[in-house]
Structure 1
């Protein structure tokens, strides 16, 4: 027994310096954190103590126990009263830091979380949970001893989820809330209403959800392939579901701020109740379109009665201080064309349609203020004059924030493109559909939340920062999570951690632990930016040249060519590899000994080396560049579809550097995408070349303005739905050329799209 104790003591003495040298893995990085000697052993027998009668602390303790059970399979017992003498326990204690601040003291003899408010206790518990969850292992764990003092940089640490364009299940929203709470984000801005749908149940106006909670998808996906009948697509949130979600979020210190759009983005409510608008029969089918619609509310007293009724029911459901009214992208054409509206402008004595929108928003604000709440809207509410007590959410850069702060109004920074999470995170082919312009994890992390353009006094009006996930091209629940995470983890550190404590390199060292935590919570996080991407091209002497890269260039790429799984001991990638045809290349990213993301696998073949996806080709333009889906689902709502890269205004792709000195066969896999975009008169600028054959052709040119060297009829492949393949021989030309690929078509809808192209030797 003595020998065992001596060995254990020696082991502890050896382990302590190693542990003390390791940094704490806490995200967001705390205001102050110091490692101490030793560890706290957390086991199934560990108990969590709270003061007698402290209901809030007991609730936090039960949440901590649940989080530990989900991640490690341990569920500590929650008890009231002080720990027994000598008991190594966790204690939640009132006192010390106010608001969302907390102190965390981890020692071998026990853990103490101290905070004055429930929010602080919760965040202290979250930090303890993070220290206990560094990987995906289960069972007891040694939590490093430490002293942490922490409080947030900003009061508003937000994420906007667009549930209007595509509906997400209540379960998915709960999962997103879990991921937010675990990283100390505290505001979920819920976009519930738009042109495409009205999602929230309003008892007084049932047709809002009965009619406008559902729509028919665009293109072939809008009809059942077996019956030909329209597909009913969508979903609604009942008031009971909303109450449950509001309570679920509040228990995790997250306030849900609802958004009810006005005066624009209003087609969905106008389809249900046409008298609220300026068009007798607003087009219901158009709700499957994306873009900026011209349909506005009218300004009759009955419309404001409707809006007030809606807002009353919304405010009964959401106790949030702020109520979001949108106010963005309200195209004024209908107002300009309406004699009634023009007469109202003259009657009110406002300058123009922008002044009328200001009057509209101010009238709504009075009702919101009358309920003890505050109005917040997108930065267009500045146009024509800002409502007296309004808060501005600045999305068109930071100009809106500067203007609002200059007028003494509070503001939230939420600018595109950096904080718009409908943009892809890397150039990987595994990224979900969305906008092509990249907003990477590093871009989000390095976002400047206190820009020099704002004076010190103006910065006092910055409530915080928020990322937005618009879901036009984010069809499934899983993709919504992938687009949000792990970028929300980077945003959390930007929003919580003081500027001087933020460090990208330090943040990246914590990423393996962060990905493990998200996995423990059941959050689907995007690993593609961490993972190797391979470019295969023809090499010398029949070999295949393979180049590896990763979107974020974090850690080291390691690979194998013998079929084995890459490990931290596998060869490190340095320069392009020369592979024999048929070689299986496997690669994975490693941060030290820890893998980041999945292993990726490629087979080096001549065909693969001479094939490029549309997302690997250069687009001829960048007016509206998107990655969006073929219109023929394989397996219903969540089924896989081909993903095309297209500039909507100029559907054209460039294959760079084709050697035409010898005969080549071009093989293309093509599909169709519905042309469902509301872009006004800009649509007339799109060139549609007339076809020579009934189903159109694929045209090949030497450069986008050069000679047309091939025309390949699409035939059956051009009829859809789904993908088809066509091929043709390219004539010999001297030298290397860029090939420009375009389509002819009878009309824009459906829009022919390129999925994949191969150039192979011979005819």
Structure 2
């Protein structure tokens, strides 16, 4: 598709209307992204007092960890981030004033794990006295999603200089379609400073993504401290482009307070040249440096040490072990490995299988369930641990084979959900369906979700956010919103996505225009909402 025709098409359809799953009007009137499960709204305005309070009357949740309190503070900050709120609500009368938010959480536990209940109900009344908005959720993480939704339906009134909630009464019932809604970032190809990673986490929460897949290391650099093997981070680009384990713990804690799990990845046995900078014996030889030496017991001791250290910091039940793009020629041409293969009756393919399965056993011994890229399934799927999650990336048609084999799957097919492909426009992200050709309900449940991938070859702190957004948001709605509420024509949601993109900009997130491809810039002067 040419660049100019795409631009014209967006401008022509950006404010198209549609009616689907909304009570009270058009879906384009509901400026919420991703679109909730069920929405009704009215035609009255309510106005928030300056001292908007958080209550928890009837809640079973004590908030000992402060997750809800912090989430509410961030919600208030989001309402005030774009403008100075210095107006007075008194002229609107007590019946039109929202004095607070009552959050009722029905369970005490706030441990964040895969499959936790993220549903919520949000009620904003019509004018009455006294007026409180209400959130009800099974868990605090559902309540955090409700706060994100409420932040999107609030707006600054430029006449009164206060925050208003238009179109009341609002009744929203919401829950995610998939339990795994991910974004991969790559800190090996380019180092991403901790504040940038935190900014990415914040932006993920705005779009209700809930898994940060941290592709920590690769052949180019090994930036993370591993206490068990402290020379590994000698493979970092420089002494300042590193993460301590305390940094990693801070990232995990920061994400957890926003309802986001961190999926850590070490990609083995390929993509591991940087490991040998600190420990050269991990290389097959100095002249042939990857994949990791399958014949050396030290290789697996290092993997065990890494995953042992991971288990103390990364609390998500899954760990990603990679396993993709393994060129085994170094094993064949290195004499001591070739000798080992013969002694163990293995060819190169069998040694690849042996390596992946050994890494899986180590991960399982530390309480993790393994995630592997799809090559492992394509080559020896029946041998994988039944606890394996297979990560699809090469293309379509693989997910249905994975779930037919009884394994779980995460979809990231590169032709639609790889963000570094700058010529892939947002409508393709929106229309990519993880359950394509999977009709058996039991098999559909094995597709636990999907992930957009921000590979880092051409991405650093200067351009990561504008490359992620708004295309990742298009995928986020696919992963959150019920299938029957999704638009069949992506252009029908262009106006609502444009609004979300502008909201990201107002919150300091450098999301690119919709009418650009990849991380393009505006073509000409004009309103944010028309770009």
Give the TM-score range, shorter chain: 0.7 to 0.9
**Unmatched 5+ residue regions in structure 1?**
1-18, 76-85, 215-231, 284-293, 425-437, 532-549, 558-585, 598-763
Task: State the alpha-carbon separation in 2 of the partners of residues 551 and 376 from structure 1.
Answer: 28
Task: State the alpha-carbon separation in 2 of the partners of residues 361 and 66 from structure 1.
Answer: 46
Counterpart among 383, 392, 408 of residue 390 in structure 2: 392
1:105–1:148 contact (8 Å) kept in structure 2: yes
Task: State the alpha-carbon separation in 2 of the partners of residues 483 and 468 from structure 1.
Answer: 11
Query: How big is the shift at 1:335?
Result: 1.4
Task: State the alpha-carbon separation in 1 of the partners of residues 124 and 502 from structure 2.
Answer: 22
Query: How big is the shift at 1:358?
Result: 1.8
**Alpha carbons of 1:143 and 1:45: their partners in 2 closer, same or farther (altered >3 Å)?**
farther
Q: Which has the higher helix share?
A: 2
Counterpart among 313, 320, 325 of residue 317 in structure 1: 313
- Which residue does 1:303 correspond to in 2? 299
Task: State the alpha-carbon separation in 1 of the partners of residues 401 and 240 from structure 2.
Answer: 38
1:246–1:255 contact (8 Å) kept in structure 2: yes
1:408-455 Cα distance to aligned partner (Å, 9 max, x none): 11010001121111111xxxxxxxxxxxxx211111011112101664
Q: What is the SS of the residue equivalent to 1:140? A: strand
1:169–1:477 contact (8 Å) kept in structure 2: yes
- Which residue does 1:142 correspond to in 2? 165
- Which residue does 1:128 correspond to in 2? 150
1:413–1:466 contact (8 Å) kept in structure 2: yes
What is the root-mean-square deviation in Å for CA atoms of aligned residues?
Answer: 2.9
- Which residue does 2:324 correspond to in 1? 328
1:326–1:378 contact (8 Å) kept in structure 2: yes
Q: What is the SS of the residue equivalent to 1:88? A: strand
Correspondence 1:344-355 to 2 at 5 A: 344-350=340-346, 352-355=347-350
Q: 1:596 and 2:530 equivalent?
A: yes
Query: How big is the shift at 1:363?
Result: 1.4
Higher relative contact order (CA 8 A, sep 6+): 2
**Alpha carbons of 1:516 and 1:141: their partners in 2 closer, same or farther (altered >3 Å)?**
farther
- Which residue does 1:740 correspond to in 2? none
1:710-759 Cα distance to aligned partner (Å, 9 max, x none): xxxxxxxxxxxxxxxxxxxxxxxxxxxxxxxxxxxxxxxxxxxxxxxxxx
Q: 1:489 and 2:495 equivalent?
A: no
1:530–1:589 contact (8 Å) kept in structure 2: no
Task: State the alpha-carbon separation in 2 of the partners of residues 421 and 20 from structure 1.
Answer: 34
Task: State the alpha-carbon separation in 1 of the partners of residues 63 and 366 from structure 2.
Answer: 31
Q: 1:362 and 2:357 equivalent?
A: yes
- Between stretches 101-110 and 60-69, larger displacement belongs to 60-69
- Which residue does 1:402 correspond to in 2? 400
2:430–2:478 contact (8 Å) kept in structure 1: yes
Correspondence 1:569-648 to 2 at 5 A: 587-588=524-525, 595-597=529-531
Counterpart among 56, 59, 73 of residue 62 in structure 1: 73
**Alpha carbons of 1:135 and 1:198: their partners in 2 closer, same or farther (altered >3 Å)?**
farther
2:400–2:437 contact (8 Å) kept in structure 1: no
- Which residue does 1:466 correspond to in 2? 451
Q: 1:89 and 2:100 equivalent?
A: yes
- Which residue does 2:367 correspond to in 1? 372
Query: How big is the shift at 1:334?
Result: 0.8
1:293-313 Cα distance to aligned partner (Å, 9 max, x none): x54333321111111011111
1:513-532 Cα distance to aligned partner (Å, 9 max, x none): 212321233211112x426x
Query: How big is the shift at 1:183?
Result: 0.9
Q: What is the SS of the residue equivalent to 1:63? A: helix
Task: State the alpha-carbon separation in 2 of the partners of residues 74 and 140 from structure 1.
Answer: 7
- Which residue does 1:265 correspond to in 2? 271
Q: 1:443 and 2:467 equivalent?
A: no
Q: What is the SS of the residue equivalent to 1:465? A: strand
- Which residue does 2:231 correspond to in 1? 207
Task: State the alpha-carbon separation in 2 of the partners of residues 508 and 134 from structure 1.
Answer: 23
2:184–2:453 contact (8 Å) kept in structure 1: yes
Counterpart among 148, 170, 194 of residue 218 in structure 2: 194
Task: State the alpha-carbon separation in 2 of the partners of residues 487 and 159 from structure 1.
Answer: 11
**Alpha carbons of 1:178 and 1:213: their partners in 2 closer, same or farther (altered >3 Å)?**
same
1:65–1:74 contact (8 Å) kept in structure 2: no
- Which residue does 1:668 correspond to in 2? none
Task: State the alpha-carbon separation in 1 of the partners of residues 302 and 121 from structure 2.
Answer: 48
- Between stretches 258-267 and 34-43, larger displacement belongs to 34-43
1:34–1:148 contact (8 Å) kept in structure 2: yes
Q: Larger C-alpha radius of gyration, 1 or 2?
A: 1
Task: State the alpha-carbon separation in 2 of the partners of residues 390 and 245 from structure 1.
Answer: 25
- Which residue does 2:122 correspond to in 1? 104
1:418–1:439 contact (8 Å) kept in structure 2: yes
**Unmatched 5+ residue regions in structure 2?**
1-23, 87-96, 108-115
Q: What is the SS of the residue equivalent to 2:118? A: coil
1:186–1:253 contact (8 Å) kept in structure 2: yes
Counterpart among 394, 418, 421 of residue 420 in structure 1: 418
2:268–2:321 contact (8 Å) kept in structure 1: yes
Query: How big is the shift at 1:460?
Result: 2.0
Task: State the alpha-carbon separation in 2 of the partners of residues 256 and 340 from structure 1.
Answer: 38
Query: How big is the shift at 1:234?
Result: 6.9
- Which residue does 1:41 correspond to in 2? 47
Query: How big is the shift at 1:456?
Result: 4.1
Q: Which has the higher strand share?
A: 1
- Which residue does 2:112 correspond to in 1? none
1:100-131 Cα distance to aligned partner (Å, 9 max, x none): 00001111332111101011111011100111
Counterpart among 249, 252, 270 of residue 255 in structure 2: 249
- Between stretches 399-408 and 129-138, larger displacement belongs to 129-138
1:175–1:521 contact (8 Å) kept in structure 2: no
Q: 1:119 and 2:125 equivalent?
A: no
> What is the TM-score with the length of structure 2 in the denominator?
0.82
Correspondence 1:674-713 to 2 at 5 A: none
1:471-491 Cα distance to aligned partner (Å, 9 max, x none): 1122x3131111101111111
Q: 1:514 and 2:512 equivalent?
A: no
Task: State the alpha-carbon separation in 2 of the partners of residues 264 and 99 from structure 1.
Answer: 36
**Alpha carbons of 1:73 and 1:152: their partners in 2 closer, same or farther (altered >3 Å)?**
farther
1:50–1:57 contact (8 Å) kept in structure 2: no
1:29–1:493 contact (8 Å) kept in structure 2: yes
**Alpha carbons of 1:404 and 1:511: their partners in 2 closer, same or farther (altered >3 Å)?**
closer
Task: State the alpha-carbon separation in 2 of the partners of residues 136 and 333 from structure 1.
Answer: 66
Q: What is the SS of the residue equivalent to 2:152? A: helix
